[in-house]
Every structure is written in C-alpha cells, then in structure tokens.
C-alpha cells in the first residue's frame, strides 16, 4: 500500500513537472465585444475550448502551452481597433500571433500594419473581399470564407428564379460595398434593373422607404450588419412590405436570435415585438458561404478529435456556464474554433522548422533562427518562417478543410442558401440550395428534398416587380364593331352588284357604264375586306407581317380600282366640255377601262417594288404601345405593353410615302377636273354631281388615312379605328353615291323616258353657267349659253346613238 502511494505521488510529480517544463506562448485576442453592428463575444467560449484541447495534445506545440492574456474590444471601429493593437504591442508580453480583430471594419486597418511587427494575424469573423489583397495584407490569414463570390451567387439566384429587378440597401462599409459593386456590374451586363441605396451606420432607414422609385420593387437585399437589418425589417412590417408579395434577402451569418428584442440589434427599437419580427423573418432567404457552417456529416471526426455534432453540443453547454452567462451566441463559432487550431498548427509547423534549422525560403532574410519563446517583433527571419508555416496549414476542421490559398483565405466559391421557417413553434434556418461559382458557368442546385414547392407557398417564385412584356392587341370591341360594319358593307356591295347586273339594260344604268360600275363594286369589296385586317392585330410577328402586306395590297388595289373609275369618268366630262373641237363620237367605255387599268398598273408596280426591296419590305417589329405603355395585368404584375408594327423603318416609310403620294397626285388631278366641270349639270350625265361629291369627300378621307398611317402607328386602337373608319367611309361613299341615286331614279323613271327630254336639258342648261360677275355684258352671256347648247346637243346625239345601237 505504501509502495502504491509512493508510486502515485511520483506520477503526479512527474506530470506536474512535465507541465511546468512547457513554455508558455501568448497570442493577442481582439474581437468585437460591444456595439450594435456585430457582436463577436460568442467566440470566447470556443477559443477557451480549443486552447484546452490544444494544450492537452502532445502532437501540437509539444513543448509549449498557448494562451491569451485578455480579450480586447475593437467595438467594430477602425480607430478603436488600432488603439487596441498598439496596446498589445506595447505591453510587456511578446505575442507570437494575433487573433482578430472582430468585424471587417476593425480588421482591415490592423491587417495593413501587423506585418511590420512580423506576427501572423488570423481573422475568424472578417469576410471583406478586400482582405484578399496580398500586397496590402502581407501576413494576414482567415478561416472565415471571404465574400468574394457573393455577388456572383446572387446574380445566379436571380437567373434561377427569373428575377430581373432588385433593390439593395448597402451599409457604407468595405465589407458590403464590394458585394454591391459586383451586383451592379452583373445587372448592367444583364440589362436588369437595380436600385441602390447607401446607408451610414446609425443612420435612420426611413429615407430608404420614402422614395417614390421604391414602389415598383418587390424583392430587396439587405446588405448591412444585423442592427440595420433589424430596423429595416421592422419598418417594412409597418409599411406593409412583407408577406407573400415581398421577399427580403439577408446575410445568414448574423448572430442567432439577432431578430429578438433582447438582442443588441433591437436596442434602439421598441416598435416591433418578437412575434412581429418572427412573422417578418419567416420566409426570408439568405446566403452563407459553405465554410461558415459546421460539417453536415455529423459523424465525421475532425483533427480536433470532435465531430460537428459533438462540437455543437459542447458549445451549447458552454453557453450555459456562469462565466459565459452574458455571452451572445455566435453563429460563426465554428470558424473561430478552427481559427484557434490554425494558429496552433501554424506555430507548431514553425517550431519544427526552427528546431530542425530549416529556414528554406527565408535564408536571406535578416534575423536569428531562434525558438518561439525568444521571438521579438524585429526578427524578420522568424516573421518569414511564421508566414510560410501558416501558409502550409492543412487540416480538417469543424467547418471543413482548413487550408489557405495564395491570398491567405480559404476557397470561397460555394455559397449556401437558407430560408427561415417555423418548425415546432421556433424559427430555424433550412438550407434549400447551393450555388457553385465557376469561371465559365455558375450552377445552382436544390438541396435534397427541396424544390420550388417547399420554398414558396404558391410553388412559384415571387414576382420581382420587373415589368413583364406583353404584346397588346386591338380591343375586342373594336374588332367586333368594325367587322360587323364591314360585313354589312359586303352585303351592300352584293346588293349593288345584283342591281347592276339585273338592271344593266335599263337606260339609267346603261348610260353610266355598268362595266365600270362593276370595277367600283370590286374595289369597294376589297376595301371592306381590308377592314378585317386593320381591325384585328396579331401577337405573332410572322402573322402580323403577313397582315401588314395584305393590308397594303387590299387598300391600294381597292382604292385605285374605285378612284380610277371615278377619275376616268371625271376626265370624260372634263374632256367633252373643255375640248375646243370635240370629236363626233364620245369617249368610249373601253378607253376609260384602259385608263383605270393604267392607274392600277402603276400602283401595282409601286407595291411590288416595295415588297421586293429588303429595306422597304414590311416586317413586324415590337414597339412600345403608345396608348397604354404600362398596365397591371390580371396576375397583378406590371406589364410593359408592346405592339407589332410594320411601318417604322425608314425604307418602309419612304415606300409608303411614295404609295400615298401617288394616290395624292390622282386626287389632285381629280379635284382639278372636278373644279373645272363644277357647273356641268347635264341630266344625261346623271353622275356628274355625285362624282364631284365623291372626289371632294375622298380628299378629306385620304388626308385622314395619310396622317393615321404616318403619325398614329404606335397607337394601335386609334390607328385601326381611324384607318378602318376611313376604309368604310370610302367604300360606302363609292357605292352609295354611285348606286343609290340610280336606284332612286330607276324607281321614279323605270323606262328612262326623262333622260332624253330636251326641255329638261334646256332647263338644266340655263343653270349650268352662272357668271359670278353680274355686271358682265349680255353679249358674253349669250355666247356662253350658245356654246353650251352646242356641246350639249352633240353629247345628246352621241349618247342616244350609243343607246340605240
């Protein structure tokens, strides 16, 4: 028994002496303990846990114990952080490494100068991409994955769910500016719509919501620390900008329970309860780099000897201990734990290099190759070895493989996406997918069991507010009304055709050239048919292009056939009554028919030439709807209305201008001849008055159609209504003024006996010429009347001769 006691004492003494022989090493520890932006004190328990495990190991820093003296508060402030760093450097203790300095804002200024003291600096909760710049941050390493590809991943997320419009509110810190700039470049390249708003720390977020341009946005990305995010989401609730109609995207690396009223984030806001914030947060999505979270394989043993499951249990247990009672749980605790191990392993590699005399790569650097405990801040050789040793760190940590690239950072091209959901009455985060950023093509992949149905309540991604494109068509009311009127017009044309055929032998009809009247009927039918193609508009480009070309052919041919007959008849009257020596025989119908065919042939040449030349060929294009450019459609989406038009190209406009110009020339000729025969009112030429009316009214209609064609093409309903109205009036005018008077006269004079009554002719002749100058001599009046009687007698004889033959 006595021997056993002595043996036990010996082993206790031996163990104590061994621990006493280990040389203490110290590292500086600066983190964010106070402030509202980001709190890092939740990393203290895992640092203590890691140090306990490290110091118990014989294969890591075998001859040393690693500890820190105190935890200094950077307050997430660059000036305070620098003060704390100098406080460490100027203390009596020499530090072989630095863990710090909390958030990116506090880390950046220290990382720029820490290499001057030849100590390696490792950050665990600083993710700013700018820290990857090795020329500025020479001895800097971090276990927290950078935000380098966050912007690219968000761009891919937009593509995946078909979003093209985003409003981003960015805190004026380098950590967030880089992400915003990346997104800005992506949106510019994709021609998407990005609303950017910058907010300064501790600044009110109310101006963000007060902007009028925000009203059309439905998806928002909060690119800030959690305190500002809390205020934004709380204000969004009071403004009704939550729920299924709005989507908020946030960083998922915020502290756990950051949204609760007890968290520092809500310290200055009491307008939202936990229940309100839980309602607001539910359904929001966000990103977190893959290296932020503990291993999903909870049974895999890491270098520390712990599994991720064991680690999480131990961390939760530590938070319940009295010394950590006021600690804020840190969602990034795993990277702090791995960061502590990275420091220990890096120093262990350096210690082994020193003990073996291996200064490869640093042999030309001034300084002494001395043990770690003899390090001082001016020893650049040891500083070089420290940097090399940390670069060689490679182990499996709680958050994954820990190895540093040439920039001192971990690989960061895999971004996880999570969603807040209520599970068993509590709010929890669920990974729904991941995005791998690659040089050629980014890839989004749903997590197992996840899909649009699990992610969105409706199974459809929420609407982003980006206007959808719709091809607007003519009003169905307009189509029905004009098509019905056109059908009645075709019925009327059919009636005129039947009348012309049945009564073509009657004197009243025969004297007005029934064959030419058939051409008017054909032209009017084409104009009525053309109304169908103008009233209806297609949403298919090919169909609309066909419609455009059909419209041109029908309108041009119909117009020229009708007006060609009117022009030829006007020319016959003009020829008879203005020719100094008229021939014995009048102008035959076949001459007028040739004239009509010549007029139509010129128009066909113009149409064919315009259709063949590629520059003028009518092809449908999308143009903004000039009547209702933007509407809210049946799906409650903003819709930019486009219409298909064919007459917007310069070549097409020139061609159409030539076509309308030709018709205008014909109109001017007709007006000229009608004006010079305006006093001719011979009963046997019973169409002269109606033809003149057709010419004058048609002039107005042609001007209306020209203005409509060239000025109202993008106002599709107005364009179709006015052009269709013009076509209906023209066709009805040609038919009505040609055939209705004949029908009335035939009813009153079935045999046409009054046509050749001389008294009527003489009576009318007295009304043909009225001298506007009442003071003219009686001799002039007598001579004019005598000339008219002679011409009238010749015409009477010729027409009667034709009728008898």
Q: What residues does 643 pair with on adjacent strands?
A: 623
90 and 42 within one domain? yes
**Could you count the other beta carbons within 10 Å of the beta carbon of residue 518?**
17
Question: How much is the pTM?
Answer: 0.67
Is residue 300 one of the residues assigned to a domain?
no
Is residue 575 one of the residues assigned to a domain?
yes
Helices 716-748, 514-535: crossing angle, 10 deg rounding: 150
Is residue 294 one of the residues assigned to a domain?
no
Most distant CA pair in the chain: distance in Å?
A: 171
Residue-number span of the structural domain to which 609 is assigned = 470-748
219 and 155 within one domain? yes
CA distance 191 to 742: 65
CA distance to 143, 530, 532, 798, per residue, from 526 (Å): 80, 6, 10, 34
Domain boundary among 358, 377, 403: 403
- How confident is the model over 507-531, as a mean pLDDT? 86
Residues 51-98 have pLDDT tens digits of 999 999 999 999 999 999 999 999 999 999 999 999 999 999 999 999
Q: Looking at the 3D structure of the chain, how many domains does it have?
A: 3
CA distance 698 to 565: 14
- How confident is the model over 433-444, as a mean pLDDT? 92
Of these ranges, 95-99, 212-216, 264-268, 643-647, the one predicted with the greatest mean pLDDT is 95-99
Is residue 283 one of the residues assigned to a domain?
yes
Q: Which residues of 733-748 are buried (b: 16+ CB within 10 A; e: fewer)?
A: bbbbbbbebbeebbee
Helices 541-578, 688-711: crossing angle, 10 deg rounding: 150
- Whether the pLDDT of residue 475 is over 90: the answer is no
Is residue 486 one of the residues assigned to a domain?
yes
431 and 377 within one domain? no
What is the chain's length? Answer: 805
Residues 112-129 have pLDDT tens digits of 999 999 999 999 989 888
**What DSSP line would sit under 396-429, residue for residue?**
EETTEEEE--TTS-----EEEEEEEEEETTEEEE
CB 734 within 8 A of CB 526: no
| Confidence category of residue 3, pLDDT binned at 50, 70, 90 | very low
**Could you count the other beta carbons within 10 Å of the beta carbon of residue 449?**
8
174 and 243 within one domain? yes
| Confidence category of residue 792, pLDDT binned at 50, 70, 90 | low
Is residue 482 one of the residues assigned to a domain?
yes
For position 732, which CATH number holds?
A: 1.20.1070.10
CB 80 within 8 A of CB 74: yes
619 and 536 within one domain? yes
Half-sphere exposure of 631 (CA within 13 A, CB side): 15
CB 660 within 8 A of CB 642: no
CB 611 within 8 A of CB 660: no
Residues 655-677 have pLDDT tens digits of 888 888 998 898 888 888 877 77
640 and 542 within one domain? yes
165 and 131 within one domain? no
628 and 489 within one domain? yes
Is residue 678 helix, strand or coil? coil
Q: How high does pLDDT run on average in the chain?
A: 85
- At 216, list the tokens: 């059309």
321 and 266 within one domain? no
Is residue 562 one of the residues assigned to a domain?
yes
422 and 387 within one domain? no
332 and 235 within one domain? no
640 and 534 within one domain? yes
Is residue 447 one of the residues assigned to a domain?
yes
Domain boundary among 350, 376, 403: 403
């Amino acid at each position: 028994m006595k021997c056993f006691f002595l043996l036990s004492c010996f082993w206790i003494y031996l163990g104590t002496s061994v621990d006493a022989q280990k040389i203490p090493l110290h590292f500086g520890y600066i983190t964010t303990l106070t402030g509202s932006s980001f709190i890092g004190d939740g990393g203290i328990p895992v640092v203590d846990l890691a140090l306990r495990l490290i110091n118990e190991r014989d294969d890591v820093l075998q001859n040393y114990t690693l500890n820190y003296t105190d935890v200094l508060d950077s307050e997430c402030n660059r000036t305070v952080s620098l003060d704390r760093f100098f406080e460490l450097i100027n203390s009596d203790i020499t530090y072989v490494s630095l863990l710090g300095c909390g958030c990116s804002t506090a880390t950046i200024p220290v990382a720029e100068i820490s290499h001057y003291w030849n100590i390696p600096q490792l950050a665990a909760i600083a993710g700013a991409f700018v820290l990857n710049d090795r020329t500025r941050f020479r001895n800097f390493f971090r276990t927290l994955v950078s935000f380098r590809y966050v912007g690219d991943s968000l761009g891919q997320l937009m593509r995946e769910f078909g979003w093209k419009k985003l409003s981003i509110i960015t805190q004026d810190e380098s950590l967030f500016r880089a992400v915003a700039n990346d997104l800005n470049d992506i949106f510019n390249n994709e021609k998407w719509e990005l609303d950017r708003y910058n907010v300064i720390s501790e600044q009110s977020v109310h101006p963000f919501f007060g902007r009028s341009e925000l009203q059309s946005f439905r998806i928002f990305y909060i690119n800030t620390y959690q305190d500002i995010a809390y205020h934004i989401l709380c204000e969004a609730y009071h403004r009704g900008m939550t729920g299924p109609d709005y989507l908020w995207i946030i960083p998922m690396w915020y502290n756990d329970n950051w949204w609760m009223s007890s968290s520092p984030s809500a310290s200055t806001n009491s307008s939202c309860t936990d229940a309100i914030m839980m309602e607001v947060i539910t359904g929001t999505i966000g990103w977190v780099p893959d290296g932020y979270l503990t291993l999903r394989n909870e049974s895999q043993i890491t270098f520390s000897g712990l599994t991720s499951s064991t680690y999480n249990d131990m961390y939760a247990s530590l938070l319940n201990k009295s010394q950590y009672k006021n600690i804020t749980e840190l969602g990034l605790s795993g990277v702090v734990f791995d960061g502590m191990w990275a420091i220990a392993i890096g120093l262990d590699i350096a210690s082994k290099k020193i003990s073996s005399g291996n200064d490869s790569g640093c042999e030309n650097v001034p300084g002494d190759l001395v043990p770690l405990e003899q390090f001082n801040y001016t020893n650049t050789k040891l500083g070089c070895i420290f940097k090399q040793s940390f670069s060689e760190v490679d182990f499996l940590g709680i958050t994954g493989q820990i190895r540093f690239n040439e920039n001192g950072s971990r690989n960061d091209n895999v971004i996880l996406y999570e969603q807040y959901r209520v599970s068993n009455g509590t709010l929890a985060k669920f990974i729904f997918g991941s995005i791998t950023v690659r040089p050629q093509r980014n890839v989004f992949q749903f997590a197992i069991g996840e899909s649009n149905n699990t992610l969105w309540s409706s199974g459809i991604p929420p609407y982003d507010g980006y206007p959808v494109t719709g091809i607007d068509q003519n009003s169905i009311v307009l189509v029905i009304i004009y098509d019905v009127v056109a059908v009645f017009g075709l019925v009327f044309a059919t009636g005129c055709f039947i009348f012309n055929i049945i009564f073509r032998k009657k004197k009243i009809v025969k004297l007005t050239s029934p064959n030419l009247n058939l051409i008017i009927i054909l032209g009017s039918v084409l104009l009525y048919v053309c109304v169908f193609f103008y009233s209806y508009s297609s949403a298919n480009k090919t169909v609309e292009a066909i419609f455009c070309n059909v419209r041109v052919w029908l309108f041009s041919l119909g117009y020229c056939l009708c007006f060609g007959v009117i022009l030829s008849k006007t020319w016959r009257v003009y020829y008879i009554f203005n020719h100094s020596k008229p021939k014995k025989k009048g102008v035959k119908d076949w001459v007028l028919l040739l004239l009509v065919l010549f007029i139509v042939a010129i128009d066909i040449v113009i149409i064919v030439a315009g259709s063949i030349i590629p520059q003028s060929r009518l092809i449908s294009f999308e143009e903004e709807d000039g009547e209702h450019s933007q509407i809210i459609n049946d799906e409650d989406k903003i819709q930019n209305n486009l219409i298909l038009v064919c007459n917007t190209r310069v070549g097409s406009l020139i061609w159409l201008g030539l076509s309308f110009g030709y018709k205008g020339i014909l109109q001017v000729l007709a007006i000229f001849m009608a004006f010079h025969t305006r006093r001719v009112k011979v009963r046997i030429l019973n169409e002269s008055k109606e033809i003149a009316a057709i010419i004058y009214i048609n002039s107005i209609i042609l001007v209306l159609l020209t203005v409509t064609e060239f000025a109202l093409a993008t106002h599709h309903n107005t364009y179709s209504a006015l052009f269709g109205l013009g076509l209906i009036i023209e066709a009805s005018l040609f038919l009505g003024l040609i055939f209705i008077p004949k029908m009335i006269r035939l009813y009153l004079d079935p045999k046409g006996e009054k046509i050749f009554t001389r008294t009527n002719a003489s009576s009318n002749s007295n009304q043909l010429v009225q001298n506007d100058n009442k003071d003219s001599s009686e001799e002039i009046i007598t001579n004019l009347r005598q000339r008219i009687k002679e011409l009238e007698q010749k015409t009477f004889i010729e027409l009667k001769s034709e009728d008898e033959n």
